[in-house]
Amino acid sequence: MATKKTEDVIAAAEVETGVTSHAAESAKVISTYAAMSAGFGLVPFPIIDVVAIAGTQYKMIAELARIHDVDASKERVRSAVISVLGGGVPTLLNATMLNSLVKGVPVVGSFLGLALLPAMAGVTTAALGRVFAQHFEAGGTLLSLDAKVIRAHFQAEFEALKEKASKKPAAAVNDAELVAA
């Protein structure tokens, strides 16, 4: 438990920087889960990688909800993610599934899948996390989610992060940079 002095220092830093402890904690969570998703993109088995990435995204959103004191049952989180990713970004899902299935092609597929899916998974997870963190920071809940607005915001975040990631060699892209972008 933080002391009164520690809380005062944190409050002063938040005022000075404009960054709340929720925002800082959220950025850390997003960075961690984006890296985990990218790692799951390296799983050599088609479909299993996508299931692992989706599970990571669900857990990230549940963690972001916890940080912001938002009720996040498993069903609500799943529904929210599906409404954002499934409803408005079929090309993203098709690309992710295609990348996963490409791994099934002997020799060449493994290399292509290993090159594409981790980057796609990391960027998608970071964009999804940023959108939900901003929604929660603004006082939103999983029940007050406007799927159309969130989908558009996700698409903008995804494109911005994808652009940023494509400008650097894969090894040089830092998850923290993606979250802070």
Name which of 72, 69, 55 is nearest 137 in CA terms. Answer: 69
How high is the pLDDT of residue 70? 92
| Concatenated DSSP letters of 16-52 | HHS--HHHHHHHHHHHHHHHHHHHHTT-SSTTHHHHH
**Residues with pLDDT less than 50, the chain:** 1-3, 6, 9-10, 13-14, 17, 19, 88-94, 170-173, 175-176
> How far apart are the C-alpha atoms of 46 and 97, rounded to whole Å?
8
Name which of 122, 123, 116, 121 is nearest 157 in CA terms. Answer: 123
Give the up-direction half-sphere exposure of residue 152: CA atoms within 13 A in the CB hemisphere: 3
How high is the pLDDT of residue 85? 77
> How far apart are the C-alpha atoms of 123 and 90, rounded to whole Å?
16
Note the Cα 71 to chain centre separation in Å.
Answer: 19
How high is the pLDDT of residue 101? 59
Domain ranges of the chain: 24-180
Q: Which residues contact 161 (CB under 8 A, 6 or more apart)?
A: 123, 126, 127, 178, 181
